[in-house]
Amino acid sequence: MKEKAIAVHDLRKRFGNVTALDGIDFDVERGTVFGLLGPNGAGKTTAVRVLATVLRPDGGHAEVLGRDVVREADAVRRRIGLAGQNAAVDPNLTGRENLRMVGMLGQMQRADVMPRAEELLRRFDLSGAADRPLRTYSGGMRRRLDVAASLMPRPPVLFLDEPTTGLDLPSREELWDMIRELVSDGTTVLLTTQYLEEADRLAHRIAVVDGGKIIANDTPGRLKAQMGAVVVEMALPGDGRADRAVGLLAERLRDRVEREGDTVRITSDRGARVLWDILRALDGADLEPDSLTVREPSMDDVFLALTGHHVTPGRPGPQGSATSDPEGVGR
């Protein structure tokens, strides 16, 4: 039987009195992308650090390609690539020198190192900057070089910890394409992200993590079916208008209708069709929303659907956390 690329059982890790991993279980099939989705501090980074042999777990068991991450750490290290949240590159070395260093320390055959570095520089569109020290690189270039470095020894399993946090949209799309390309070559990828869209577009399976626990583990399709494909939000302030709208819509629509203050939120998997029904119902009752927005579900909506609460207060939500402090994550 073919073993799993990654097998995690009841993994636990505490830092002082903070429980970072509260017994998580999941498996990753070979040649697939597995997404760990969750807010800052959910335990995603801790999980990756344990699997990449950087941290020792306090309890439980984890294997990468059948090798135990604690007892056979060195064998695991020979099979993985890790690109962390903060681009772990040497700012004083050039792009080429950084790749060379990681290749040599990754125990590649000497003759194989430079050709592989050139190949990755081309593939990541960094050939022109190959001889410049990394401190002259832009954020996106550093991130690309960081991912390239993690690929030097051709690892069959790749860990990407929030690879696109802080990247602009074009760089993000570019990195997504590269990840797809790797997977089509047979690489297994474990990816952490705060963006539902990213997990949806890349992952074959998504585990939603909150407070060190996995609260859902499914395909993106089924997760989205659970929470709807489109979210409509309307503001109806004053005179109990919001209440009336909720009553009316709950009666007429098959979709999920909620009220939060003056805001009415409808979550639906019927796409644009639902808008028609909403507006027709409201028009009939002479209820005119002050504003109306239609959007895709965010991670916050996933949380709302799965846990009944928003992303835990006190932690930065999915928005505005692109430059979040990496020190605060999972430590």
Partner 1 sequence: MTTIAVSVPVQDSRDRRIPLGVVRDTFEITRRNLIGYRRVPQLLVFSTIQPVIFVVMFRYVFGGAISVPGRVAYVDFLMPGIFVQTVVFGAIATAIGLATDLKSGLMERFHALPMARSAVLAGRTTADLSRNVFVVVLMMVVGFLVGWRVQTNVWGLLGAALLVLFFGYAMSWVFAVVGLAVGDPESAQAAAFPVLAPLVFASSAFVPVSSMPGWLQAFANNQPVSATASAVRALTLGGATGSEVWRAIAWCAGTLVVFAPVAVRLYRRKV
For residue 74, the minimal CB distance to partner 1 (Å) is 5
Nearest to partner 1 of 211, 326 (CB atom): 326
Nearest to partner 1 of 85, 267 (CB atom): 85
How many whole angstroms separate alpha carbon 95 and alpha carbon 125? 11
Among 54, 183, 235, 322, binds partner 1 (CB under 8 A): 54
Q: List phi, psi (to 5°) of 3.
A: -75, 160
For residue 178, the minimal CB distance to partner 1 (Å) is 19
Q: Is there binding between residue 272 and partner 1 (CB under 8 A)?
A: no
How many whole angstroms separate alpha carbon 197 and alpha carbon 179? 15
For residue 319, the minimal CB distance to partner 1 (Å) is 25
**What CA dihedral angle connects 152, 207, 317 and 173, to 10 degrees?**
40
Q: Is there binding between residue 49 and partner 1 (CB under 8 A)?
A: yes
For residue 101, the minimal CB distance to partner 1 (Å) is 5
For residue 146, the minimal CB distance to partner 1 (Å) is 9
Q: List phi, psi (to 5°) of 230.
A: -140, 140
Mask of contacts with partner 1, 5-44, x by CB under 8 A? ----------------------------------------
According to DSSP, the β-strands at 18-28 and 6-15 are antiparallel
How many whole angstroms separate alpha carbon 8 and alpha carbon 215? 15
CA angle 18, 298, 29 (to 5 degrees): 70
How many whole angstroms separate alpha carbon 39 and alpha carbon 60? 23
For residue 45, the minimal CB distance to partner 1 (Å) is 10
Q: Is there binding between residue 257 and partner 1 (CB under 8 A)?
A: no
Single out the segment in contact with partner 1 by CB under 8 A; choices: 5-13, 52-60, 220-228, 308-316. Answer: 52-60
The answer to whether the beta carbons of residues 300 and 258 sit under 8 Å apart is no
Nearest to partner 1 of 5, 80 (CB atom): 80
How many whole angstroms separate alpha carbon 126 and alpha carbon 45? 27
The answer to whether the beta carbons of residues 249 and 278 sit under 8 Å apart is yes
Single out the segment in contact with partner 1 by CB under 8 A; choices: 12-20, 47-55, 276-284, 316-324. Answer: 47-55
Rule CB under 8 A: which of 70-129 touch partner 1? 74-75, 77-80, 82, 84-93, 97, 101-102, 104-107
Cα–Cα distances in angstroms (integers) from residue 129 to residues 83, 94, 95, 118, 144, in the given order: 20, 8, 7, 12, 12
Rule CB under 8 A: which of 312-331 touch partner 1? 326
For residue 186, the minimal CB distance to partner 1 (Å) is 15
The answer to whether the beta carbons of residues 120 and 103 sit under 8 Å apart is no
Q: Is the dihedral of CA 88, 163, 209, 308 positive or negative?
A: positive
Rule CB under 8 A: which of 123-162 touch partner 1? 133, 149
Which residues of the chain form contacts with partner 1 (CB under 8 A)? 49, 52-55, 74-75, 77-80, 82, 84-93, 97, 101-102, 104-107, 133, 149, 326
